[in-house]
Amino acid sequence: MFARLSISRDGGLEAELQVKLTLIQLIREKQLQDSAMAAHVQDIAEGKPTEFRFRDEGVLCFKDRIVVPDIGELRQTILTEAHSSPFSMHPGSTKMYQDLKGEYYWVRLKQDVAKFVSKCMGSWEKQLTLDEFAYNNSYQASIQMAPYEALYGRRCRTPVCWAKAGQKLLPLPDILKGTTEKVKLICERLKATSDRQKSYVDLKRREIEYAVGDRVFLKVSSWKKVMRFGRKWKLSPVFIRPYEIVERVGPVAYRLLLPPELERIHDVFHVLMLRRYRSDPSPVIPVEEIELNLDLSYDEEPVEILASDNKVVG
């Protein structure tokens, strides 16, 4: 029930009362109009084995999820409330589906959610004040629940999910037991996610080892706030001149022989900051083997005849 007060032209006070059905009442009313529900209602009345049942409010449920009939704009109303209300913050299709599937049931729910989200043109500027609430109440794939649920042991109810029936206060031992089990479940899910990501990385990972005396390039992309090497940031080098390895420090770290201009930098680096320097001296011609003129030019002399050919003219 909503009340609206206004002042009339003659100065009197007018009151207007509006009565609107709650979402549960609206769903129950639409269920009575859906002929497809009659068979399930009859099975319940005759005591036949079925996964459908009536909740305390008289609404038909399937596996404790409210059955939403395809009548009028009922499903569209639920999708709009779950996606576009100030408490929802325009979630993606995955997060929105996870929120809805625990409360409501209808055929092609996941497809309808994806289709609805793809057409959303919501304005984020109007929702930024509730971004923290939306994040804490959004489904996270790594822990398979929302951060709010992980912290408090129950889901935070947005307006579209406030109709959960049968909840009651639990004694302290049950709360502690539930919290312990929830933490254990979260740790297991995080470990499974970490192991899966590690398996992807291990496919391309290879062991890198260097020997004392090897020369390596040094990665400096992480030094931009320390040294700029005389260039703009966009043009700063990723690797700088090769340095000699003078000591191995642990299994994955090496000490380099750095010049005086890098004395402020610690001389021990992780192996991932190094790249092997491979020099090829074959193209390099020693200066001693070339007779240079005063103007730094030189005279070319044939060294070897590689091929010959005789041509007969006329």
Strands (DSSP E) found in 8-92 = 13-18, 52-54, 60-62, 65-67
pTM of the predicted protein model: 0.42
Q: Are residues 117 and 227 located together in one domain of the fold?
A: no
**Does residue 14 belong to any structural domain of this protein?**
yes
**Does residue 178 belong to any structural domain of this protein?**
no
What number of helices (H) and strands (E) belong to the chain?
A: 8, 11
Specify the pLDDT at position 117. 84
Range of the domain at 135: 2-161
Q: Are residues 224 and 127 located together in one domain of the fold?
A: no
**Does residue 286 belong to any structural domain of this protein?**
no
Residue 148 contacts residue 134 (beta carbons within 8 Å): no
Is the model more confident about 16 or about 155? 155
CA distance 154 to 131: 20
**Does residue 262 belong to any structural domain of this protein?**
yes
Is the model more confident about 255 or about 219? 255
**Does residue 49 belong to any structural domain of this protein?**
yes
Q: Are residues 147 and 224 located together in one domain of the fold?
A: no
DSSP state of 153: S
Q: Are residues 229 and 153 located together in one domain of the fold?
A: no
Q: If you average pLDDT over residues 97-117, what whole number do you get?
A: 89
**Does residue 185 belong to any structural domain of this protein?**
no
Is the model more confident about 294 or about 65? 65
The pLDDT tens digits for 61-106 are: 998 899 999 888 889 988 888 887 766 667 778 888 888 888 899 9
| Residues facing 128 on adjacent strands | none
Q: If you average pLDDT over residues 219-230, what whole number do you get?
A: 54
Q: Are residues 35 and 151 located together in one domain of the fold?
A: yes
Q: Is residue 246 pLDDT above 90, yes or no?
A: yes
